Structure 1
Amino acid sequence: MHVVPGLKVLYFGTPVVLVSSLNEDGSANLAPISSAWWLGQSCMLGLGNNAQTTANLLREGECVLNLPSSAMVGAVDRIALTTGKRAVPDYKVEQGYRYEPDKFAAGGLTEQASDLVRAPRVAECPVQLECRVVSSRPFGVPASHATAFEVEVLRAHVEEELVIPGTHYVDPLGWDPLIMKFCEFFGGGRSVHPSRLAEGWKMPHRRPSVTAG
Structure 2
Amino acid sequence: MALKSLPLSEVYALLEPGPVVLLTTADKTDRANVMTMSWHMMMEFTPPLVGCVVSEGNHSFKALRATKECVIAIPARRLATKVVKVGNCSGRDFPNKSGADKFAAIGLTPRPARMVSAPLIANCFANLECRVVDTRMVARYNMFVLEVVKAWRDPAQKNPKTIHYQGWGRFAVDGRVITLKSGKA
Q: Structure 1 length as normaliser, TM-score?
A: 0.69
Distance (Å, rounded) in 2 between the aligned partners of 1:58 and 1:124: 26
The residue aligned with 2:181 is none
1:1-213 counterparts in 2 under 5 A? 1-9=2-10, 10-12=12-14, 13=16, 14-38=18-42, 39-40=44-45, 41-84=48-91, 86=92, 99-101=93-95, 102-138=101-137, 144=140, 146-161=141-156, 174-183=159-168, 184-188=170-174
Q: Deviation string for 1:22-44 (max 9, x for gaps)?
A: 13431110001110111310101
How far is the alpha carbon of 1:8 from its aligned partner? 0.3
Distance (Å, rounded) in 2 between the aligned partners of 1:11 and 1:23: 31
How far is the alpha carbon of 1:185 from its aligned partner? 2.5
CA RMSD, Structure 1 to Structure 2 (Å): 2.0
Distance (Å, rounded) in 2 between the aligned partners of 1:161 and 1:15: 20
- The AA in structure 1 aligned to 2:172 is F
Distance (Å, rounded) in 1 between the aligned partners of 2:173 and 2:105: 22
- The AA in structure 2 aligned to 1:66 is A
Distance (Å, rounded) in 1 between the aligned partners of 2:138 and 2:29: 28
Change in CA separation of 1:78 and 1:51 when aligned onto 2, cut-off 3 Å: same
Structure 1 gap segments, 5+ residues each: 87-98, 164-173, 190-213
Q: Structure 2 length as normaliser, TM-score?
A: 0.79
CA contact 2:30–2:117 (8 Å) conserved in 1: no
Q: Aligned pairs, how many? A: 162
Change in CA separation of 1:126 and 1:55 when aligned onto 2, cut-off 3 Å: same
The runs of 4+ residues in structure 1 deviating greater than 3 Å are 137-140
Q: Partner of 1:73: helix, strand, or coil?
A: helix
Distance (Å, rounded) in 2 between the aligned partners of 1:160 and 1:55: 33
Q: Partner of 1:8: helix, strand, or coil?
A: helix
Distance (Å, rounded) in 2 between the aligned partners of 1:116 and 1:139: 23
- The AA in structure 1 aligned to 2:57 is N
